[in-house]
Amino acid sequence: MASASDELESLEREACEAIARASSLQELRETRARYLGRKGSIAALLRGIGGLAPEARSAAGEALNRAAARVEALAAERQTALERAAADRSLAEHVLDATLPGLARPRGHLHPVTLIEREMAEFFHGLGFSIEEGPEVESEWNNFDALRIAADHPSRDSQDTFFVEGGNVLRTHTSPVQIRAMTGRTPPFRFVAPGRVFRVDHSSTKSPFFHQIEGFIVDEHTTFGDLKGVLYAFARHLMGPDVRLRFRAHFFPFTEPSAEIDFSWQGGWLEWGGCGMIHPGVLENCGIDSGRYQGFAFGMGVDRSAMQRCGIPNIHLMLDGDVRVLEQIG
């Protein structure tokens, strides 16, 4: 038993020295496994106890367990020291300078269409126009009938208009706001109405939903010449002094005379909107004396103005919500 005791003492001393020399957590784990693991040196001695005489087994087992506990305690102590040293090194290598500015987080921005719409509204507000809004779900009276759009007009077909329950529609233009604003008011007045509208349409320059801005003035002396002057000033404000406008004679049930407006774009023309003198019948539908008052109205696409401003060839690039695209044009 004396030789076994000496062997155990030597093994314990060897294990403690190896643990003390371990310079990293990985090396410590390997050393611990070499002595304390299931296949380690101390475990091998424990398995050899079965070959001892019965009266010697108890004392040998106790001695081995005490040695294993001392080695385990030393290993735990060394692990704590190595972890503390690693943390100290990390802190020394990554010193935090509290005086440095923080990391800037990415900031969002308004959609290009929103920016253009606000700029449009601000321009007209500077000319004395009040800003009006209306619901996107409208009655057929405000969207069609009050504007003299006949019951058999193609725009009232489901191929052009989104119908909803209760005899209402998703407004196809911002002109219903004109009806709401004029009804119950006495001229003179001037309003501008920006908002989203809906039509059954889809192409590179059209979308089932898009944005319009409607403007109108009613008083005793407004002329078509005044209308053209306002639109030229508006176009030059948005698109620069070199922009050209083209007025094409057209028919709208709610204006007379009427015209469609195009603006110069990429070497050609792009339809911008419609305009004209408000039809006397529309004024009468709103309770306004058409024998005394007259006015003009216009409406154009906000999205197409944004396309021109940002140089975007396809309207869906703006309206599909791809953040990668919007970050480039915002």
Q: What percent of the chain has pLDDT over 70?
A: 92
Instruction: Find, among 84, 69, 62, the residue nearest to 15 by Cα.
Output: 69
Long-range contacts of 42-51 (CB under 8 A, 24+ apart): 42/11, 42/15, 42/67, 42/68, 42/71, 45/7, 45/8, 45/11
pLDDT in tens, 32-51: 888 777 777 777 776 666 66
Q: At what angle do helices 302-310 and 112-126 cross, to 10 degrees?
A: 110
> Model confidence at 2, in pLDDT bands (50, 70, 90)?
very low
Check: pTM over 0.75? Answer yes or no.
no
| pLDDT confidence of residue 306 | 80
| pLDDT confidence of residue 1 | 40
Beta strand residue intervals within 220-254, DSSP E: 245-252
Bigger pLDDT: 142 vs 34: 142
A 10 A CB-CB count for 238 gives 19
Cβ distance 47 to 60 under 8 Å?
no
- Separation of alpha carbons 273 and 157, rounded Å: 21
**pLDDT surpasses 60 at 75:** yes
pLDDT in tens, 217-257: 999 999 999 999 999 999 999 888 999 999 999 999 999 99
- Separation of alpha carbons 51 and 294, rounded Å: 119
| pLDDT confidence of residue 56 | 66
Report helix, strand or coil for 297: strand
- Separation of alpha carbons 30 and 94, rounded Å: 29
Query: Average model confidence (pLDDT) for the chain?
Result: 85
CA 82 to chain centre: 48
Q: Where are the domains of the chain?
A: 2-93, 112-329
> Model confidence at 316, in pLDDT bands (50, 70, 90)?
confident
Structural domain 112-329, CATH architecture: 2-Layer Sandwich (3.30)
**pLDDT surpasses 60 at 205:** no
- Separation of alpha carbons 254 and 295, rounded Å: 12
Instruction: Find, among 147, 278, 159, the residue nearest to 218 by Cα.
Output: 278
What is the Cα gyration radius of the chain?
Answer: 42
Poorest-pLDDT segment among 107-111, 144-148, 203-207: 203-207
> Model confidence at 67, in pLDDT bands (50, 70, 90)?
confident
| pLDDT confidence of residue 206 | 61
Q: What percent of the chain has pLDDT over 90?
A: 42
